[in-house]
Amino acid sequence: MAIDIQLSKIGISMTEGSLAEWLIADGGHATEGEPLFALENGKSTNEIDSTATGGLRIPMPGGENYEIRTLLGVHQ
């Protein structure tokens, strides 16, 4: 079953964030709780953990700004 990876809010007034980098490559395997990507919001950078275990399909590149709830990738 595929599980979407969306950009989630990490601050009350956050409307977008910068996906600084993926910490696991497209086609790689993530384990639940493992750091998945780095998210920049204002002056801070946070590592966002994987919420599932499985292979990754990552169509959205790092280094770009995205709105909240943007589909960044999929756990397969």
Model pLDDT for residues 14-62, shown as the tens digit of each residue: 889 999 999 999 999 999 999 999 999 878 899 999 999 999 999 999 9
Total domains in the chain come to 1
Number of H helices, E strands in the chain: 0, 8
- In this prediction, residue 14 carries a pLDDT of 86
- Domain with 60, as residue range(s), is 3-75
pLDDT confidence of 3, banded at 50, 70, 90?
very high
pLDDT band at 5 (very low <50, low <70, confident <90, very high): very high
- Per the listing, tokens 């700004």 go with 65
Question: Is the pLDDT assigned to residue 67 strictly greater than 90?
Answer: yes
Residue 16 structure tokens: 């977008």
SS3 44: strand
> Using an 8 Å Cβ cutoff, are 60 and 70 in contact?
yes
Q: Is the pLDDT of residue 11 over 90?
A: no
Distance CA 18, CA 32 (A): 22
CATH number at residue 59: 2.40.50.100
